[in-house]
Structure 1
Amino acid sequence: MALVSEFLGQLTLGFGGVSIKREARFPTVVPAPDFDPEKDASWIDTAIKTKGVDEHIIIDILTKRTYTQRRDIAFEYERKAKKDIVTALKGALSGSLENVIMGLMKSTAQYDAFELRASVKGLGTDEESLIEMVCSRSNEELLEIKKVYRDVFKKDLEKDVAGDTSGDFAKLLLALVEAKRDDPSNVVDYEKIDSDARALYEAGVKRKGTDVATWITIFSERSVPHLQKVFERYKNYSPYDIKDSIRKEVKGDLEKSFLTLVECFENKQLYFASKLNEAMKGKGVKEKVVNRIIISRCEIDLLKIRKEFKKQFSKSLYATIVEHTRGDYQRALLNLCGGDD
């Protein structure tokens, strides 16, 4: 029953006795009505044992259940079949479909933790994945990820990030991973908005060289609504907007990280929509990027990402998936997408 206990270990609502404020959700995967985990487990067992494996049944059950429901299915499967459902699925599936299904059998926080671990372990660092996940996750998400990371890998995410990155890039990522961002306030502090806007200008465009430490503090600790107002106020001081200022002041992974933060502060769902569009342009699909966004956001805000995708690119995410993917992999992604727009 190791798998079941691992699943149950993901149900965390707070850390150190501190409750965490949850953001509004706009999922495409919602609880299935009339849910019967015992029946679902039986269907999956039959599908795995079928000669040639019935992938459609596996897909249509697991992509149309929430993680909590999948956990219940796993419990029933293990109880009846006396074996681990993840091991059974891994043995029955392969390739792109296996990657999606294996991702779905993890909680969102566990999936993110595994993706972050993969981006920092071994030779070389997957900076693109690291930047996307660390810069786009909320305090709530980062705290959950860090707990899972420690539980699963017996390591601190901070130490692994520090060991695999360097310089100001490492300092920014570590500041973000600390999850010290202020919660949004109902009170608008115009004096602090002006002070932060001026500080960003004086630490960058106004001087020779960049005081990156000041930028890191403001970008990693202020609330998102506050920063949105800071960036607007910034235009009163600088001849360049905040994005152009970033491009002028810093380069490489640090530049990409600051720009990702600004894009997520302005419209996080548009950021993810743009990443999905980029991953499905031209020949070939960047499956790792597509999988990561769709799997990690399908129970959070994929519905809003879908709407931003249609608005920005004049075509639906659903139609784009149809155009660029095939077979069982396509079926799984379309189910998670949740419909056409």
Structure 2
Amino acid sequence: MASVWDDLNSLLDSPDSLSSPSRGTVKAKAGFNAAEDAAALKKAMDGFGTDEKTLINILTQRSSDQRLQICKAYKDLTGKSLVDHLEGDTHGHFEDILVALVTPPAQFDMQAIKQAMKGAGTTESVLIEILASRSNPQIRALSDAYLKETGRALTYDLKSEVSGDFGKTLLILAEGKRDETKNVDAAKAKADAKALYEAGEKKWGTDESKFIDILCNRSVPQLRQTLVEYKNLSGKTLQQSIESEMSGHLEDALVAVVKCVKSVPAYMAELLHKSMKGAGTKEEMLTRIMVSRSEVDMMDIKVEYKKLFGRSLYSDIESDTSGDYRQTLLGLCGADA
């Protein structure tokens, strides 16, 4: 299972979805007409009973931008928001996923983060998943949405929810200021690898701040080179070192960052598997990932899923979910591969 994370051979040449995402299963529809789609959706929900199939076909086969245009056309046509009608006409996980599909991506991320910090206790895993896997522009967009919705900066609220080294890690990630240069400085990668080795494996106790600083600030290409140098130097992967040196939420966060530097699609494939494995399905997580990655890197996620688990994502969704919810997920997943 760990093998996919230990293999660094093709790392330096593989695409990086943090900076060049365009491998989605959901694409903009050619010959798109927002008013026509809005009318079809209205008809599907009018009167007695709902034509779920039309809702699914339209909402899983339009890009996010097109879905937002449909929302506007729907409001113009009916005077009511599409979200309100969907909420009144559907329910359960099916309702959740349709509403997610007509929510702007930054807004959707922001709502998940807000929900994760609500009430007693914090859902750290959601904060880690989103903040470790999003690009700088995505993080800045969700921060703007957060400020607009709450009147407070995301980092301000995070500070009161998370603390210690884990809190420090999330706060740096939430700034969305990771270096974006494409050039790799080989000497710096060697020096960083050595600094990480000396801050962890080589030392009694671990200097967490060194790990946080390097992993949360350097560019993805630079970190990939550092991961290779680290393995040459220590004989272990950086992920293995973090797992043996650290614990708790800090370990989870830094491992997630390393995994996303290597491959966001493989990281998402693991989470999707986790959302369906064992007793009960974690629909919230399944919905969040399928919706948020459908236009970014879902094609790559499917490939990684097959590599990791020997089964297709499509067949696992099919056997793990049911009804209209299942059909919507399969629509986002795209043909079985």
TM-score (norm 2): 0.91
Match of 2:133 among 132, 136, 146: 136
How many angstroms apart in 2 are the aligned matches of 1:59 and 1:203?
A: 51
CA deviation after TM superposition for structure 1 residue 221, in Å: 0.8
2:28 aligned residue: 31
How many angstroms apart in 1 are the aligned matches of 2:283 and 2:246?
A: 30
Match of 2:114 among 107, 114, 117: 117
Matched, 1:51 2:48: yes
1:237 aligned residue: 233
CA deviation after TM superposition for structure 1 residue 22, in Å: 5.7
Matched, 1:164 2:125: no
How many angstroms apart in 2 are the aligned matches of 1:253 and 1:91?
A: 38
Q: Using a 3 Å threshold, how does the CA distance of structure 1 residues 201 and 316 change in structure 2: closer, same or farther?
A: same
How many angstroms apart in 1 are the aligned matches of 2:237 and 2:24?
A: 33
Moved more, 231-240 or 63-72: 231-240
CA deviation after TM superposition for structure 1 residue 132, in Å: 0.8
How many angstroms apart in 2 are the aligned matches of 1:24 and 1:123?
A: 35
The letter for the 1-side match of 2:246 is V
Q: What is the correspondence of 1:267-306 to structure 2 with a 5 Å cutoff?
A: 267-306=263-302
2:26 partner SS = coil
Matched, 1:266 2:288: no
How many angstroms apart in 1 are the aligned matches of 2:115 and 2:21?
A: 29
The letter for the 1-side match of 2:172 is A
Matched, 1:198 2:194: yes
The letter for the 1-side match of 2:44 is A
How many angstroms apart in 2 are the aligned matches of 1:67 and 1:38?
A: 16
2:92 aligned residue: 95
Question: How many residue pairs end up in the alignment?
Answer: 320
CA contact (8 A) 2:265 2:300 kept: yes
Q: Using a 3 Å threshold, how does the CA distance of structure 1 residues 257 and 145 change in structure 2: closer, same or farther?
A: same
Match of 2:318 among 319, 322, 334: 322
Report percent identity of matched pairs.
Answer: 39
The letter for the 2-side match of 1:44 is L
How many angstroms apart in 2 are the aligned matches of 1:83 and 1:234?
A: 57
2:31 partner SS = coil
How many angstroms apart in 1 are the aligned matches of 2:279 and 2:49?
A: 30
CA contact (8 A) 2:64 2:104 kept: yes
CA deviation after TM superposition for structure 1 residue 166, in Å: 1.0
**CA deviation digits over 1:138-181, x for unaligned, max 9?**
11211111111112222211112111111110001001111221
CA deviation after TM superposition for structure 1 residue 236, in Å: 3.8
CA RMSD, 1 decimal = 1.5
**CA deviation digits over 1:213-257, x for unaligned, max 9?**
111110011111111111221134335331221122211000011
Q: Which runs of 5+ in 1 are unaligned?
A: 1-20
Matched, 1:106 2:92: no
**CA deviation digits over 1:63-109, x for unaligned, max 9?**
11111111111111111211111111111110010110111111111
CA contact (8 A) 1:55 1:328 kept: yes
How many angstroms apart in 2 are the aligned matches of 1:68 and 1:181?
A: 26
CA deviation after TM superposition for structure 1 residue 282, in Å: 2.8
Q: Which runs of 5+ in 2 are unaligned?
A: 1-17
CA deviation after TM superposition for structure 1 residue 259, in Å: 0.8
CA contact (8 A) 1:22 1:140 kept: no
The letter for the 2-side match of 1:95 is G
Deviating 4+ runs (over 3 angstroms): none
The letter for the 2-side match of 1:324 is D
2:221 aligned residue: 225
1:74 aligned residue: 71
How many angstroms apart in 2 are the aligned matches of 1:79 and 1:241?
A: 56
CA deviation after TM superposition for structure 1 residue 24, in Å: 3.5
Higher relative contact order (CA 8 A, sep 6+): 2
How many angstroms apart in 1 are the aligned matches of 2:31 and 2:232?
A: 57
